[in-house]
A = this chain, B = another copy of it.
Amino acid sequence: MDWTELTLDQLRSCKAELEAEYAGYVKQNLKLDMSRGKPAGTQLDLSAGVLDKLESCRTENGTDARNYGGLDGIPEAKKLFSDLLDIPAERLIIGGNSSLNMMYDSVVRCLLFGASSQTPWGKLPKVKFLCPAPGYDRHFAICEDLGIEMITVPLLADGPDMDLVEKLAAADDSIKGIWCVPLYSNPQGVCYSDRTVERLASMKAAPDFRIFWDNAYGVHHIYSEEKVADIFDACTRAGNPDRAFYFFSTSKITFPGAGVALMASSESNVAEIKKHLGIQTIGPDKLNQLRTIRFLKNADGVRAHMRRMAAELKPKFDVVLTTLERELGGTGLAEWTRPKGGYFVAVDTLDNCAKATVDLAKKAGVTLTGAGAAFPYHRDPRDRNIRLAPTYPTLEDLTLAIRLFCVCVKLTGVSRLIAEKE
């Protein structure tokens, strides 16, 4: 039944029913949180081995990991991530517990020291980034914090709207970067097509333009194992070998905020980064690298671990997707993505309904990610995008929360249709 085609009377009767249903939820005094991309305890339990006693602190090359030394990671970490991500070890910098921190610091280095021997961004009158949206709120927060103007670009089914990206980047030298989550993007689960990767790597742009390639969900498959084209290969082929900064972490493989993060880039960029990094710190926590790598063992070990993780997550994604389909399918009140992996499902309500829907859910005790969070400056131009984060609640709570969510989408949508018709 397409609700957008109902008569005013029909809508009013639907609304009354929905209000009764909603009141039923309110009475339950729920307190459910599906706002954050946090793993559930059961997911974390899969990595319990990381917490075991560290029997030997010698790395493969004989370094005592308890002591100073080593700026870019222990050899076994380099090997594992090189194998897993198909990036030559000499392009990797294995860091501390936070890839976000490595992204922030990478932007800061460009502000202070410049990139590709160009003027430091901080000395320019204006610096702008292209921000495919919906996207990851913390990418946008970095721009806001560091005074970088954000230009919103629509994220389509195969990546950013490349016609627009190419047009903007070619025309404006003050555009210095783009934020990309190329696989299972946050929040929609979009995977970039080969053509998108090709175009990003080869398009005309400022010589110090950088792709911030946050491969946060690079091995986080659920329904199928999607792949994304190699950004470094594409950049090299296009004659822009220094264009990409690549980021990854085990925060959603082992423990969030207590895993191992890394970045990668061209050898020339890596040399430049290490020059400053070696002043900023004596090195990352090698003991945590050792713990994490000993637990994961090798690239195949990570893949096996992520299959166990997928088995943990699939029932939750199933319940979200089947409930959305059952409750909202064909109503015309919402569209949503069916991601093959990652951490989120994104729902688009009718225009101007996202904020009201989130508020309504909140009043009934279910916290969702704030409406607009996935857009630069928190401004969703059509106020319709809502990010659902299915991982953290129990399956039981999630089932309840997603049902209530559907009631809220319908109630808000129906109210809006009524207002339009009245």
- Which of A67, A96, A98, A287 has the most chain B CB within a 10 Å cutoff? A67
* Known A53-B51, A66-B256, A285-B285: A276·B100 in contact at CB below 8 Å: no
A419 within 8 A of B: no
A296 CB to nearest B CB, Å: 16
Mark A94-115 against chain B: 1 for CB-CB distance below 8 A, else 0: 0011101100110010011000
Structural contact, B255 and A142, CB atoms closer than 8 A? no
Q: Across the interface, do A38 and B51 meet the contact criterion of CB distance under 8 Å?
A: no
CA gap between A60 and B256 in the complex, in Å: 19
Is A54 interfacial (CB-CB < 8 Å)? yes
Interface: A65 (CB within 8 A) = yes
A 245-294 contacts with B by CB, 8 A: 251, 255-258, 276, 279-288
Which of A53, A104, A105, A285 has most chain B Cβ within 10 Å? Answer: A285
Among A52, A251, A258, residue most surrounded by chain B Cβ atoms (within 10 Å): A258
Residues on the B chain within 8 Å of A251, using CB? 68
A318 within 8 A of B: no
Q: Which of B53, B96, B257 contacts A286 (CB 8 A)?
A: B257
Q: Which A62-84 residues sit within 8 Å CB-CB of chain B? A: 64-69
Residues of chain A touching chain B, judged by Cβ–Cβ distance below 8 Å, are 36, 38-39, 41, 44, 47, 51-54, 57, 64-69, 96-98, 100-101, 104-105, 108, 111-112, 122, 138, 141-142, 144-146, 251, 255-258, 276, 279-288
